[in-house]
Amino acid sequence: MKFALVKNNKELGERAFFEIKQVLDAKPDAVIGFATGSTPLPLYAKMVDDYKKNGTSYKAVRAVNLDEYVGLDAKDKNSYARFMRENLFDHIDILPENTDIPNGMAQDLEAECARYSEMLSVTPRDIQILGIGANGHIGFNEPYTKKDSTTHIVSLTARTRADNAAGFKNPAAVPIYALTMGISEILAAKKIILLATGEKKAQAIYDMLRAREDLSCPATALRGHPDVTVILDKEAASLLKFDEWTPAE
């Protein structure tokens, strides 16, 4: 695992974009795994800004997303499908038909999980963007999710629902279930960029590196991946010791 310490959100966006741009320069038809949540927003802002200024093209790119709430329509303001359109896809030249996200409105959710897993198995990701939950989740793989999990229905923990309540009328309105890419599918990405900011993530970052690998912190699964870069600010890094660091180039 490599680490890059950034001073602020702007630098986080630039540093993460540098990783995406390297992948795109080598492979304009790369498959990119995107994440939702507030942490990657500076990256998406940077991608939009770069697209406007430099015209970096996403026409040949395929995008897949980590997760979606069950029961929210793609038009719902809290759906991750809408989040991706509003914060990124509508502002770059990616083709809508080249984007995929689990459908939380599917009649048959198990069949939707199977469809998504099948799609992922034939669409290997060149790079996967990840956030991390305060409880160490990656995607919506909550504590004790198995390492060999594929796309599945998850019952969100009370903590995750409380952490994600901001856009909802009240915390009880946060969906109870979600569909998420499984841990084995996250680990299948060639390169992983994990973004973390703020003191609220410090324990999860510490646990990702130091906790027993019993998946009480699902992010510990990333230790076995050969190409993970963690981009974080001082607050998220506050429980780490600097001599534990391998700096990213």
Which residues contact ligand PGA (rule: CB under 6 A)? 37-39, 131-133
CB closer to ligand PGA out of 102 and 131: 131
CB of 107 to ligand PGA, least distance (A): 27
Are the C-beta atoms of residues 69 and 154 closer than 8 Å to each other? Answer: no
Take residue 207 and report the two structure tokens written for it. Answer: 């646990």
Q: Is-catalytic flag, 54?
A: no
CB of 133 to ligand PGA, least distance (A): 4
Determine which one of 68, 112, 137, 152 is catalytic: 137
Task: Assign 80 to helix, strand or coil.
Answer: helix
Q: Is-catalytic flag, 65?
A: no
Determine which one of 135, 141, 152, 164 is catalytic: 135
CB of 155 to ligand PGA, least distance (A): 15
Q: Among 5, 78, 77, 17, which residue's Cα sits nearest to residue 43?
A: 17
CB of 196 to ligand PGA, least distance (A): 8
Task: Assign 159 to helix, strand or coil.
Answer: helix
Determine which one of 67, 68, 112, 126 is catalytic: 67
CB closer to ligand PGA out of 8 and 38: 38
What residue type is assigned to position 224 of the chain? G
- How many residues appear in the chain? 249
Rounded Cα gap, residues 133 and 111, in angstroms: 27
Rounded Cα gap, residues 93 and 247, in angstroms: 33
Are the C-beta atoms of residues 206 and 240 closer than 8 Å to each other? Answer: yes
CB of 53 to ligand PGA, least distance (A): 26
Rounded Cα gap, residues 41 and 39, in angstroms: 6
Determine which one of 112, 142, 185, 207 is catalytic: 142
Are the C-beta atoms of residues 204 and 219 closer than 8 Å to each other? Answer: yes
Q: Are strands 31-34 and 67-69 parallel, antiparallel or unpaired?
A: unpaired
Opening angle at CA 240, ends 235 and 241, nearest 5: 125
Q: Is-catalytic flag, 67?
A: yes
Q: Is-catalytic flag, 135?
A: yes
Give catalytic residues, as residue numbers. 67, 135, 137, 142
